[in-house]
Amino acid sequence: MSFFKLTIAEDKVEKQTEGYQNLMSILYAFIIAFAVTLMSGLWYHLVPREINWNASQTILVLHLGGGLISLILFVVYFFLHQKDKEQPWWWLLTPWKLKKEADEESQHFRQRQLGHVLTWILLIIYGTGIGMALPGLLFYTGKVWMQGYYTTQILGGFHFWVSVVLVPVIFIHMLWLVRKGGLNNEN
Protein backbone atom coordinates (compact mmCIF):
# COMPACT_ATOMS: atom_id res chain seq x y z
CA MET A 1 0.00 0.00 0.00
CA SER A 2 1.63 3.20 -1.14
CA PHE A 3 0.87 6.73 -0.08
CA PHE A 4 0.33 8.25 -3.53
CA LYS A 5 -0.29 4.97 -5.39
CA LEU A 6 2.51 5.90 -7.77
CA THR A 7 3.20 2.98 -10.02
CA ILE A 8 5.11 2.03 -13.10
CA ALA A 9 4.31 -1.63 -12.71
CA GLU A 10 1.76 -3.26 -14.97
CA ASP A 11 0.40 -5.95 -12.64
CA LYS A 12 0.22 -6.90 -8.96
CA VAL A 13 2.89 -9.59 -9.28
CA GLU A 14 5.43 -7.09 -10.60
CA LYS A 15 4.60 -4.72 -7.74
CA GLN A 16 5.48 -7.39 -5.17
CA THR A 17 9.05 -7.91 -6.37
CA GLU A 18 11.88 -6.73 -4.15
CA GLY A 19 13.43 -4.65 -6.93
CA TYR A 20 10.21 -2.75 -7.52
CA GLN A 21 9.72 -2.14 -3.79
CA ASN A 22 13.30 -0.82 -3.51
CA LEU A 23 12.76 1.47 -6.49
CA MET A 24 9.59 2.87 -4.94
CA SER A 25 11.35 3.36 -1.58
CA ILE A 26 14.05 5.41 -3.29
CA LEU A 27 11.38 7.38 -5.13
CA TYR A 28 9.54 8.19 -1.89
CA ALA A 29 12.80 9.19 -0.17
CA PHE A 30 13.59 11.44 -3.14
CA ILE A 31 10.13 13.04 -2.97
CA ILE A 32 10.59 13.84 0.73
CA ALA A 33 14.14 15.18 0.31
CA PHE A 34 13.12 17.21 -2.73
CA ALA A 35 10.08 18.67 -0.93
CA VAL A 36 12.28 19.76 1.99
CA THR A 37 14.75 21.28 -0.46
CA LEU A 38 12.04 23.06 -2.43
CA MET A 39 10.32 24.50 0.63
CA SER A 40 13.59 25.63 2.24
CA GLY A 41 14.65 27.22 -1.05
CA LEU A 42 11.37 29.12 -1.31
CA TRP A 43 11.73 30.23 2.31
CA TYR A 44 15.29 31.40 1.72
CA HIS A 45 14.30 33.26 -1.45
CA LEU A 46 11.04 34.84 -0.26
CA VAL A 47 11.63 35.65 3.43
CA PRO A 48 13.96 38.65 3.92
CA ARG A 49 17.19 37.74 5.69
CA GLU A 50 16.97 40.89 7.81
CA ILE A 51 14.04 39.43 9.78
CA ASN A 52 16.14 36.70 11.41
CA TRP A 53 19.68 36.14 10.16
CA ASN A 54 20.25 32.95 12.17
CA ALA A 55 17.05 31.33 10.90
CA SER A 56 18.00 32.30 7.35
CA GLN A 57 21.38 30.61 7.68
CA THR A 58 19.77 27.51 9.19
CA ILE A 59 17.36 27.34 6.25
CA LEU A 60 20.29 27.72 3.83
CA VAL A 61 22.12 24.79 5.45
CA LEU A 62 18.88 22.76 5.32
CA HIS A 63 18.52 23.66 1.63
CA LEU A 64 22.11 22.65 0.85
CA GLY A 65 21.84 19.39 2.80
CA GLY A 66 18.45 18.53 1.30
CA GLY A 67 19.74 19.36 -2.17
CA LEU A 68 22.74 17.08 -1.72
CA ILE A 69 20.59 14.21 -0.42
CA SER A 70 18.02 14.64 -3.20
CA LEU A 71 20.83 14.75 -5.80
CA ILE A 72 22.24 11.45 -4.53
CA LEU A 73 18.78 9.86 -4.48
CA PHE A 74 18.01 11.24 -7.95
CA VAL A 75 21.16 9.70 -9.42
CA VAL A 76 20.42 6.32 -7.81
CA TYR A 77 16.77 6.43 -8.90
CA PHE A 78 17.67 7.53 -12.44
CA PHE A 79 20.05 4.62 -13.04
CA LEU A 80 17.76 2.05 -11.40
CA HIS A 81 14.79 3.37 -13.37
CA GLN A 82 16.76 3.20 -16.62
CA LYS A 83 17.84 -0.34 -15.80
CA ASP A 84 14.20 -1.21 -15.10
CA LYS A 85 13.13 0.25 -18.45
CA GLU A 86 16.12 -1.36 -20.24
CA GLN A 87 17.22 1.94 -21.78
CA PRO A 88 20.82 3.09 -21.88
CA TRP A 89 21.64 6.18 -19.82
CA TRP A 90 22.98 8.07 -22.83
CA TRP A 91 19.45 8.40 -24.27
CA LEU A 92 19.44 11.60 -22.24
CA LEU A 93 22.10 13.10 -24.51
CA THR A 94 20.23 12.24 -27.71
CA PRO A 95 16.71 13.71 -27.45
CA TRP A 96 16.17 13.39 -31.20
CA LYS A 97 16.15 9.60 -30.80
CA LEU A 98 13.16 9.80 -28.43
CA LYS A 99 10.55 8.46 -30.85
CA LYS A 100 7.29 6.66 -30.37
CA GLU A 101 7.60 2.92 -30.80
CA ALA A 102 5.04 1.14 -32.99
CA ASP A 103 3.38 -0.79 -30.14
CA GLU A 104 3.63 2.02 -27.57
CA GLU A 105 0.56 3.76 -26.15
CA SER A 106 0.28 7.50 -26.69
CA GLN A 107 0.17 8.26 -22.95
CA HIS A 108 3.27 6.15 -22.31
CA PHE A 109 5.16 8.05 -25.01
CA ARG A 110 4.10 11.40 -23.52
CA GLN A 111 5.20 10.11 -20.12
CA ARG A 112 8.64 9.28 -21.54
CA GLN A 113 8.88 12.74 -23.11
CA LEU A 114 7.88 14.39 -19.85
CA GLY A 115 10.40 12.23 -17.97
CA HIS A 116 13.08 13.39 -20.40
CA VAL A 117 12.18 17.06 -19.82
CA LEU A 118 11.98 16.46 -16.07
CA THR A 119 15.45 14.91 -16.02
CA TRP A 120 16.95 17.87 -17.90
CA ILE A 121 15.23 20.36 -15.60
CA LEU A 122 16.58 18.55 -12.53
CA LEU A 123 20.09 18.45 -14.04
CA ILE A 124 19.96 22.22 -14.63
CA ILE A 125 18.77 22.83 -11.08
CA TYR A 126 21.44 20.61 -9.54
CA GLY A 127 24.13 22.06 -11.81
CA THR A 128 23.32 25.66 -10.95
CA GLY A 129 23.04 24.76 -7.26
CA ILE A 130 26.48 23.17 -7.27
CA GLY A 131 27.82 26.15 -9.21
CA MET A 132 26.54 28.56 -6.54
CA ALA A 133 27.74 26.39 -3.64
CA LEU A 134 31.20 25.75 -5.10
CA PRO A 135 32.95 28.87 -3.68
CA GLY A 136 31.70 28.04 -0.17
CA LEU A 137 32.74 24.41 -0.48
CA LEU A 138 36.19 25.40 -1.75
CA PHE A 139 36.55 27.83 1.18
CA TYR A 140 36.23 24.91 3.59
CA THR A 141 39.08 23.13 1.80
CA GLY A 142 41.33 26.18 2.27
CA LYS A 143 41.02 27.61 -1.24
CA VAL A 144 39.55 31.04 -1.84
CA TRP A 145 37.80 31.42 -5.17
CA MET A 146 35.00 33.80 -5.87
CA GLN A 147 32.84 33.92 -8.94
CA GLY A 148 31.93 37.26 -10.40
CA TYR A 149 28.85 39.01 -9.07
CA TYR A 150 26.93 38.64 -12.32
CA THR A 151 27.82 34.96 -12.61
CA THR A 152 26.33 34.33 -9.18
CA GLN A 153 23.23 36.35 -10.04
CA ILE A 154 22.74 34.50 -13.34
CA LEU A 155 23.18 31.10 -11.66
CA GLY A 156 20.76 32.12 -8.91
CA GLY A 157 18.20 33.32 -11.44
CA PHE A 158 18.41 30.09 -13.44
CA HIS A 159 18.25 28.05 -10.24
CA PHE A 160 15.10 29.83 -9.06
CA TRP A 161 13.17 30.12 -12.34
CA VAL A 162 13.93 26.59 -13.51
CA SER A 163 12.72 25.41 -10.09
CA VAL A 164 9.49 27.34 -10.65
CA VAL A 165 9.10 25.57 -14.02
CA LEU A 166 9.86 22.22 -12.36
CA VAL A 167 6.90 22.34 -9.97
CA PRO A 168 4.12 21.95 -12.57
CA VAL A 169 6.18 19.51 -14.65
CA ILE A 170 6.82 17.17 -11.72
CA PHE A 171 3.19 17.56 -10.61
CA ILE A 172 1.89 16.52 -14.06
CA HIS A 173 4.39 13.65 -14.20
CA MET A 174 3.20 12.35 -10.82
CA LEU A 175 -0.48 12.79 -11.71
CA TRP A 176 -0.02 10.63 -14.81
CA LEU A 177 1.53 7.93 -12.64
CA VAL A 178 -1.35 8.19 -10.16
CA ARG A 179 -3.85 8.00 -13.02
CA LYS A 180 -2.10 4.99 -14.49
CA GLY A 181 -1.96 3.32 -11.07
CA GLY A 182 -5.59 4.20 -10.40
CA LEU A 183 -6.73 2.65 -13.68
CA ASN A 184 -4.79 -0.56 -13.11
CA ASN A 185 -5.65 -0.93 -9.42
CA GLU A 186 -9.28 -1.50 -8.79
CA ASN A 187 -9.11 -1.87 -5.00
What does pTM read for this prediction? 0.79
**The predicted structure's pLDDT at residue 55:** 85
Per-residue pLDDT for the chain (187 aa), expressed as one digit of tens each?
344 444 455 555 566 677 778 888 898 999 999 999 999 999 988 888 788 888 888 999 999 999 999 999 999 988 887 766 666 667 777 776 677 777 777 777 777 788 888 889 999 999 999 999 999 889 889 998 888 889 989 999 999 999 999 989 888 887 776 666 544 444 3
Tell whether 6 is covered by a domain: no
**The predicted structure's pLDDT at residue 184:** 45
Using alpha carbons, select from 179, 56, 164, 71 the residue that is nearest to residue 123. Answer: 71
Residues listed for the chain? 187
Residues 66, 106 within the same domain:
no
Host domain of residue 23: 11-88
Where among 36, 62, 88 does a domain terminate?
88
Tell whether 5 is covered by a domain: no
Tell whether 4 is covered by a domain: no
Contacts for 20 with CB less than 8 Å, ≥ 6 apart: 9, 14, 84
Residues 116, 53 within the same domain:
no
Where among 64, 88, 112 does a domain terminate?
88
Residues 128, 187 within the same domain:
yes
**The predicted structure's pLDDT at residue 181:** 54
**The predicted structure's pLDDT at residue 96:** 67
Tell whether 3 is covered by a domain: no
Task: Please give the tally of structural domains in the chain.
Answer: 2
| Rounded CA separation 171/187 (Å) | 24
**The predicted structure's pLDDT at residue 111:** 77
**The predicted structure's pLDDT at residue 94:** 74
Where among 88, 107, 136 does a domain terminate?
88
Tell whether 149 is covered by a domain: yes
Residues 108, 187 within the same domain:
yes
Tell whether 164 is covered by a domain: yes
Tell whether 16 is covered by a domain: yes
